[in-house]
Structure 1
Amino acid sequence: MAELPRSPITVLGLGAMGRAFTREFLGGGHPTTVWNRTPGKDGELVAAGAAAAATIGEAVRASRLVVVCLLDHRSVHEALDPVAGALEGRAVVNLTSTTPDEARELAAWAKGHGIDYLDGGIMATPDMIGQPPASLLYSGSRTVFDEHGPALRLLGSADYFGEDAGLASLYDFALLAGMYLMFAGFSHGAAMMRSAGVPAAEFAERAVPWLTAMAQTIPFGTTAVDTGDYTTDVQSLDFNKAAVDAIVRASRDAGVGLDAIAPVKALIDRQVADGHGAESFNRIFEGLKPVSAPPLG
């Protein structure tokens, strides 16, 4: 039996990520139309079978599904506002990095123009797209997610977080915050070791297994964070303050800047100063959580 033709897809934005999306859609058998704000990035994709649109209007009219991967929130509006009429009745999946509130604003804009909108966060680098480690997070229109799920899963695993268009973005940026702080912590440690002439590559051989092991302990602290009960009989904030204070002294002795470790020290110092030194390190969460956080559950 002959395979049914796959639905057409349009990709707006041909940076490294947009080009990776296009290659996966083409590989999955979807006729794919591409458009970029500046010319010259579609040659390889056209050679692989993509259709190049001369204008964004032509691009969005070519497909019922339009995948957007541009620079930022403003660039999405600059691209889509002039073709809002042509997008009416179509599905837009926005994979541009936008804040949760920006994603919600785009969802409201799309609804006002009769556009079905799904927002997404990309937990992958361009070279990971289409490979098992790639994960994409979605929220917004359930209809778009269900109807176009097979195509979206060509890019990586796909998880849906509900109708709030900003929730996928919130997960995305929260996960990235943890990643960037981890990388900053590694850089601080590598700077300390450089004072003794140890290369970063050599330090990484010990840092990676250590950080991996410590990451496995994260779930053990979540009950304290979620319940607000930070009682502990091991490694209290007083204990951790002594350790971090020593790290700060060692860093200064090595001539290393404190930009990465100073915020951690400040979080600990604040909780200790408020009388919580006997409680667990997880209590630093209290210095970070939103003042008007909604109840859990």
Structure 2
Amino acid sequence: MTDTQSDPTSPTRSVSLLGLGDMGAAFARAWLAAGYSVTVWNRTASRADALVAEGATRAESAAHAVAANTLVVTCLLDDASVGEALESADLTGKDLVDVTTGSPAEARARAAWAQARGARFLSGGIMAVPPMVGQPEAGGYVFYSGSRELFEARREALAVPVGTRYVGADAGHAALQDVALLSAMYGAFAGITHAFALVRGEDEIALKEFAPLLTEWVVSMSGAVGQMAEQLESGDHTSGVVSNLAMQVAGIKTFVGTAHEQGVSPELLTPYFDLMRRRVESGHGTEGGTGLVDLLRSGGGSADR
């Protein structure tokens, strides 16, 4: 009996990968290092040269790459690129896993598109950067949503590059949670950028000494995330609040004034301050910041439900 765990010719130990940018190439190398048979394709064929030298098989076209294996992974520029690459490919009986960055609506449409062509489909949202791939200790993972049957069947292969987190049958949920977490990241980076701008240029404040203070503060503030979730689920935006919006809004002039004193634009903070003011003006000054979620979902209009 063939040991499928060590036989690279086994269907469960082979994969076709379309897209060899930094992330796609990192995925390919992780599978190669784990003993998988990897067929690769890229629109610019020379991007495959190094991987072929490392043991991958080059496909002459995207359609040939799809034909080579049952498991097909796309890691391309955008959703339109996926459609173009697979336009002439026969997807009948294929397991199509798309880790291309896209929107929830694009993922849902691509799932219907793939299913109409006879393929099982998973959409993936990569929560990692290329250096984290193949490094389990780095903590990277991919959100997957869509066919649970496909996820369970291919869980071992998908877990080779980075960890896996299945988030439901709705194909759009991987992209949604990917974008939600990345949005939080950009919001945090906005605050970090503003903080460095304030202290930069002060001779007696060394940025390397300020950095750990900023890190500690950001980490300590992350504890508010769980409380926000509880308040949103209960509908009670005042429970456990220790610094209400009315008090915070009263302090806005200090933050804006300090920015101007330091020669720093407050533009990274003012949109959030504007939301806080609107929420207070609509009669919610005793709340914490959780009610701003409702204000955003209402399009910035009335925050009342």
**TM-score, with normalisation over the residues of structure 2?**
0.90
Residues 64-213 of structure 1: matches in 2 within 5 Å?
A: 64-83=70-89, 86-132=90-136, 133-197=139-203, 198=205, 200-213=207-220
Task: Extract unaligned runs of 5+ from structure 1.
Answer: 292-297
Q: Name the SS of the counterpart of 1:275 in structure 2.
A: coil
Task: Report the Cα distance in structure 1 between the residues aligned to 2:230 and 2:284, rounded to whole angstroms.
Answer: 18
Task: Report the Cα distance in structure 1 between the residues aligned to 2:229 and 2:254, rounded to whole angstroms.
Answer: 27
Q: Which residue of structure 2 lines up, in the alignment, with residue 295 of structure 1?
A: none
Q: Name the SS of the counterpart of 1:11 in structure 2.
A: strand
- Structure 1 residue 281 displacement after superposition: 2.5
Aligned amino acid, residue 68 of structure 1: T
On the 8 A contact 1:245/1:265 being kept in 2, the answer is: no
1:214 aligns with 2:221: yes
Task: Report the Cα distance in structure 1 between the residues aligned to 2:254 and 2:59, rounded to whole angstroms.
Answer: 60
On the 8 A contact 1:118/1:145 being kept in 2, the answer is: yes
Q: Which residue of structure 1 lines up, in the alignment, with residue 266 of structure 2?
A: 258
Q: Which residue of structure 2 lines up, in the alignment, with residue 236 of structure 1?
A: 244
**CA gap 1:290/1:130 in 2 versus in 1, 3 angstroms:** farther
Task: Report the Cα distance in structure 1 between the residues aligned to 2:265 and 2:121, rounded to whole angstroms.
Answer: 45
On the 8 A contact 1:42/1:52 being kept in 2, the answer is: yes
- Structure 1 residue 123 displacement after superposition: 0.4
- Structure 1 residue 228 displacement after superposition: 1.9
Aligned amino acid, residue 121 of structure 2: Y
Task: Report the Cα distance in structure 1 between the residues aligned to 2:208 and 2:250, rounded to whole angstroms.
Answer: 29
Task: Report the Cα distance in structure 2 between the residues aligned to 1:67 and 1:244, rounded to whole angstroms.
Answer: 49
Q: Name the SS of the counterpart of 1:93 in structure 2.
A: strand
Q: Name the SS of the counterpart of 1:281 in structure 2.
A: coil
On the 8 A contact 1:103/1:166 being kept in 2, the answer is: yes
**TM-score, with normalisation over the residues of structure 1?**
0.92
On the 8 A contact 2:63/2:86 being kept in 1, the answer is: no
Identity of aligned residues (%): 39
Q: Which residue of structure 1 lines up, in the alignment, with residue 303 of structure 2?
A: none
The C-alpha deviation readout for 1:77-96, integer Å capped at 9, x for no partner, is 1111122xx22111110000
Aligned amino acid, residue 134 of structure 2: G
Answer with 154-163 or 26-35: which moved more. Answer: 154-163
- Structure 1 residue 2 displacement after superposition: 7.1
On the 8 A contact 1:35/1:52 being kept in 2, the answer is: yes
> How many residues are aligned here?
289
Aligned amino acid, residue 265 of structure 1: F
Answer with 218-227 or 171-180: which moved more. Answer: 218-227
Task: Extract unaligned runs of 5+ from structure 2.
Answer: 300-305
- Structure 1 residue 248 displacement after superposition: 1.4
Task: Report the Cα distance in structure 1 between the residues aligned to 2:208 and 2:297, rounded to whole angstroms.
Answer: 35
Q: Name the SS of the counterpart of 1:34 in structure 2.
A: strand
Q: Which residue of structure 1 lines up, in the alignment, with residue 40 of structure 2?
A: 34
The C-alpha deviation readout for 1:136-170, integer Å capped at 9, x for no partner, is 11001112101111000112221112211001110
On the 8 A contact 1:230/1:279 being kept in 2, the answer is: yes
Q: Which residue of structure 2 lines up, in the alignment, with residue 55 of structure 1?
A: 61
Task: Report the Cα distance in structure 2 between the residues aligned to 1:37 and 1:258, rounded to whole angstroms.
Answer: 43
